[in-house]
Structures are given as C-alpha cells and as structure tokens.
Amino acid sequence: MVEAMNWISEVVRPKIKTLFKRETPENLWVKCPETGQMVFHKEVEANGWVIPGSEHHLRITAQQRLKLMFDQGTWLDVPLPEVAADPLKFRDEKRYVDRLKDARAKTGMTDAFKVGFGRVSGLPMTLAVQDFGFMGGSLGMAAGEAFVRGAETALEKRTPYVLFAASGGARMQEGILSLMQMPRTTVAVRRLNSARLPYIVVLTNPTTGGVTASYAMLGDVHLAEPGALIGFAGPRVIEQTIREKLPDGFQRAEYLKEHGMVDQVVHRRDLKGTIARLCGLLMQVPAESAAAQAEARAEAKPDAKPDTKADAKPVPA
C-alpha cells in the first residue's frame, strides 16, 4: 500500500498549460518614463512616439524621424563618406572597433548621422538627423563628415538645411580628431549663410557637449522639443562645480526659451508644419504655392505607400 502511494505521489502531472500558452510580443506596451503609465505600443506610434496624456516625447531613431518629416514618408538617402574606423587604436574596457561593431548591429546604421533629401509639406529640403542610439549620438569623424555632406547637398540643390540634434558630445575614442569636427562643421554652416540658405536646428533630448558648443547653436532659428535637455555640461556636473542647487527645469527646453537661447518649443506633431512655414518664409516661397503643390501630389498618389529605401526617386529641387 505504501509503495502504491509513493507511485501515485511521484507521478509527474502533464503540463497542459504549456500547450496552450500564448506568446505576447515584448514591445506590446510602452512605459512612460515620467508617470510610469503603460500605453499600448500602437497608440504611442500613431501619436508620433509621444505618450498620450503626459505628452512625454520619447527618443526616436533617425529612420523614424525622417519618416515623420518627409511627405508620404519618402526620401532619398544621401550617401555619406567613409572614414577610418579606429585611427587612434583606442581601447578602454573594450576595443573601439568592437564598440562600433555593437552599435552598428544594434541600430543598423554606419554611424550616428543619417541625411535625407526630399519634400516637407511640398518644399524641397535636406534633413540631417543624429541618432542617440548610436553611441549616444556622439560626434566623431564620421558624424562630422555626414554633417558637412548634408550641408553640401543643401548647397548643391539650393534647399534649406534642417538638423535634428541629439548627442552627448564629442566621441572620446577619437580624441582630437573628434574635436576637430567642431570647426569643420562651423565652416559648413558659414557656407550656408554665405549662400543665403536657411539653417534650422531642432534640439531634441539630449543635446549636450561639443555638439551644443558648435553646429547645434549656430542655426538661423532654434526649435526644441518639449522637455529636451540642452546644455554644454550636465546639471549634475554644474551643481558639483558651483556647489549650489540649480533652479527647477534648468537646461530644459522651456527654461532656455524663457532665457532667450531657444526661439520656440514645438510639440512633435507640429514640427513638420512649423519647419515648412519657416523655410517657406526664409526662402520666400508663397505659402499658397507650397500648399497647392503638396495637395496636387497627394491627389495624384492617394494610395502611395511610404518608401524609405535609398533607391527612392530623388525629388527635383
């Protein structure tokens, strides 16, 4: 009898639940960094990657940014120059070449910059976007070359040049070579000014370090997304240096607007229209003409699907 009881107690029950277990995607919900609110992923995407309710602007990739900005999500990728991968043979906890390899595998990008040419609300425009997901959007030789190539594209096609900045500063693994990109990008901005082409900067979260000390603060107009951290040194470093408590909201977009360093804080859903109006004004393009062109294209291709491939047809300037 005892043996029978042992046999019964030792029987492994079949795990029937595992046969009917439903697998749910890991990215089905998005958590708001400010309030902790859980929001359906599709709802956040439809809202331009802004959390409904709290209006917190999530960081987005360069690809997502270009898709939001260009008409019908279509643009021409501007080929970017290749640079030496590891000129200083730098190594800290990992080799620099290994860090680059990991960042490229994670983001699908060659470096922190992506440049596109297309139409924004009917106006031909050149857009450059820094992707914070690639080593913190840090400024190195590749990023500097990409910025300059974007400026050259705007000069060649006679379009406004719009930069979406997001960076932690210069890339330490490239030393002085990364710092030399600051004057190089400044020269590119001066060429745009000489050609009387608009250069508009959109400061996103975060924009700090050598990027703020160079091309990110040289725009004809400076826009910023709500809540973006903007500055040279971070607030914690400043507090430790001056040994004083900083004001609430210090170095945030709204604070900088109040103190004259940012022209306007613009919600992400309004950025496209705002930039188009500014560029139309600075390029002396009548608003009615641009709107009519955009409406005509929409009617001609009502069912057009977004195409973000590099071989998309270029838009004539």
Amino acid, single-letter form, for residue 154:
A
Amino acid, single-letter form, for residue 253:
A
Concatenate the DSSP letters of all residues of 155-178 into one string. HHHT--EEEEEEESSB-GGGHHHH
- 3-class DSSP state of 44: helix
Enter the tokens of residue 206.
């975060």
Residue 135 has, within 13 A of its CA and on its CB side, a CA count of 26
pLDDT of residue 28: 86
Enter the tokens of residue 39.
């929001």
Query: Distance between CA atoms of 269 and 232, rounded to whole angstroms?
Result: 27
pLDDT of residue 305: 45
pLDDT of residue 312: 46
- 3-class DSSP state of 244: coil
- Quickly count: other Cβ atoms within 10 Å of residue 186's Cβ: 13
Report CA Rg, the chain: 24
pLDDT of residue 315: 45
pLDDT of residue 290: 56
90 with 96: CB under 8 angstroms?
A: yes
Q: At the topology level of CATH, where does 59-284 sit?
A: 2-enoyl-CoA Hydratase; Chain A, domain 1 (3.90.226)
268 with 225: CB under 8 angstroms?
A: yes
Amino acid, single-letter form, for residue 17:
K
Contacts of 7 (CB under 8 A, 6+ apart): none
User: Using CB atoms within 10 A of its CB, is residue 290 exposed (0-12), middle (13-18) or buried (19+)?
Assistant: buried
C-alpha 49 chain-centroid distance: 12
* Angle at alpha carbon of residue 66, lines to 300 and 30, rounded to 5°: 115
Q: What is the mean pLDDT of each run of 10 residues along the chain (317 residues)?
A: 54 54 68 90 93 93 97 96 93 94 95 97 96 96 97 98 96 95 97 97 96 96 97 89 91 95 97 96 75 58 47 44
User: Of the candidates 140, 106, 144, which has an alpha carbon nearest to the alpha carbon of residue 128?
Assistant: 144
Look up the pTM and report it: 0.83
User: Of the candidates 192, 189, 167, which has an alpha carbon nearest to the alpha carbon of residue 178?
Assistant: 167
Burial 221-235 (b: 16+ CB within 10 A, else e): bbbbbbbbbbbbebe
pLDDT of residue 304: 45
pLDDT of residue 57: 95
- 3-class DSSP state of 251: coil
CA pseudo-torsion sign 257, 225, 192, 292: negative
Query: Distance between CA atoms of 59 and 49, rounded to whole angstroms?
Result: 8
153 with 314: CB under 8 angstroms?
A: no
pLDDT of residue 235: 85
Amino acid, single-letter form, for residue 215:
Y
> 113-120 and 221-224 as β-strands: parallel, antiparallel, unpaired?
unpaired
pLDDT of residue 8: 54
- Which single residue is written with the structure tokens 């917190």? 56
pLDDT of residue 309: 46
For residue 104, report the phi and psi dihedrals to the nearest 5 degrees: -70, -40
Peptide bond into 25 cis (omega under 30): no
Amino acid, single-letter form, for residue 236:
R
Per-domain boundaries in the chain: 26-58, 59-284
